[in-house]
Amino acid sequence: MTSRRTTVALKLLMAATGLFFAFFVLFHMYGNLKLLAGETAYNDYAEHLRTIFMPILPYAGFLWILRVALIVALAVHVYAAVTLWMRAGNARRTPYAAGKAALRSMWMRWGGVFIFLFLIWHLVEFTIAKVSVNPDKTGVDITQNPYQLVVSSFQVWWLTLIYVLAMAALALHLEHGVFSAQQTLGWTQTVKGYRRAKMIGYVTAALVVGGFLLPPLMIQVGLVK
């Protein structure tokens, strides 16, 4: 009984942190679309993020609170996922059930690892070190200008390709994760609720990934410069 309660608690933690990440990527996707409005609009948006709740908070204070919350949520999410995965692996199953469960969880597990590695690089490139991978566009005029850094980076074909692959992983992770979170919270008890949860998962994945892909693809083909 204690083990069962712990498993339920871990699933609830995964659901809560997963939905938190889903809301975050929706907000982040909206901000990325500011690129389509031009350099001034995007840079004003980037600067506004650093001045939210000033002077109650110091400069960039809100961003640091958000970053800490994301790190804590990520640690909880990964811990819950790994623990549940190990318990599932130790549980007795028929070969058919084991194979079905493995196929269902394989992409969530390895897709999550790929997203995590991409996230580290993404933060290094655009937030921590601010690195331009475009050999034709370097220097502080690029790296200290959010709009120019993003545009110059996605003019590099291989970086855009990595981004597309990461978004494909995110789409599958979001679609299944958003549905699973609703299932854990008991919102899929009826046929109508099940279908609604599935649709929310599909729509969330399509909206987030479509919005994320639009700016880099338009940069790559030269529609945004």
Q: Tell me: the pLDDT tens digits for 51-100?
A: 999 999 999 999 999 999 999 999 999 899 888 877 766 554 555 445 55
CA geometry: angle 6, 75, 199, nearest 5 deg: 75
Alpha carbon 203 to chain centroid, angstroms? 15
Write down the CATH number for the domain with range 2-220.
1.20.1300.10
What is the predicted pLDDT for the residue at 104?
A: 60
Domain boundaries, the chain: 2-220
DSSP-H helix ranges across 124-156:
140-143, 146-154
Q: What is the mean pLDDT of residues 131-136?
A: 92
Q: What is the mean pLDDT of residues 175-185?
A: 91
What does DSSP assign to residue 129? S
Six token digits for residue 166: 């990461």
Tens of pLDDT along 181-215? 999 999 999 999 999 999 999 999 999 999 999 99
Q: Which amino acid is located at 210 in the chain? A: G
Other C-beta atoms closer than 10 Å to the C-beta of 10 total 19
pTM above 0.85? yes
